Amino acid sequence: MSGGTRLFHVSEEPDIPIFHPRIPKRADLDPNIGLVWAVDEARLPNFLTPRDCPRVTYHVGEETTDDDRKRFFSSDHVRHCVIIEHGWFSVMRNTTLYLYEFDPAEFTLQDAVAGYYVARTPQTPIAVHRIDDLPAALIERGVEVRITDNLRRIAEDVKASTLNWSLCRMRNAK
């Protein structure tokens, strides 16, 4: 794996000394092979919310049209957006996250659009970064942050677009 890629696991737990492979719950993955999951730095903003917070996230991809860029972003220089519901904003403001950074040497790319990487061996973090102000962390990364009363419509609109997208914890959405 490329030495320039930074990989992270995001958690609300402050003291995880080692990450052991876990059997994936996804039906498209081998249930006999445990994995340690990490996300690359470019898609890290998708996880800078409380764990159970429903969210719609999207970013510009190679196939994204100019029309979709204009429709889904408020300015030309923004390339990533995270949308949460009103009810989660105070939770987000009061959540601390820990970014466990890994040496990328034993990880392989699992999903290029999502930025997911996996390792089959236990992983010890090389660093832990604490984030106390999640909205500020998103803004510092150039992410457009939106807050809405309901994620369902925007989720359907984003899924029908040419954007690269991720819908997380939607079972918790209104």
27: pLDDT confidence band, cut at 50, 70 and 90? confident
User: Measuring CA to CA, how many Å separate 129 from each of 32, 88, 96?
Assistant: 32, 23, 10
Q: Give the residue carrying structure tokens 């949308």.
A: 83
pLDDT score of 20 more than 70? yes
Q: pLDDT value at position 68?
A: 98
Q: Which of 21, 46, 44 is nearest to 34 (CA)?
A: 21
Q: pLDDT value at position 28?
A: 87
pLDDT score of 2 more than 60? no
Side chain identity at 27, as an amino acid letter?
A
Q: pLDDT value at position 86?
A: 96
DSSP string, 78-134: --EEEEEEHHHHHHHHT--EEEEEE-GGG-EEEETTTTEEEESS-B--SEEEEES-H
- Give the residue-averaged pLDDT of 133-151: 97
pLDDT score of 126 more than 60? yes
- Give the residue-averaged pLDDT of 28-48: 95
Tokens of 15: 């003291």
pLDDT in tens, 80-117: 999 999 999 999 999 999 999 999 999 999 999 999 99
pLDDT score of 167 more than 90? yes
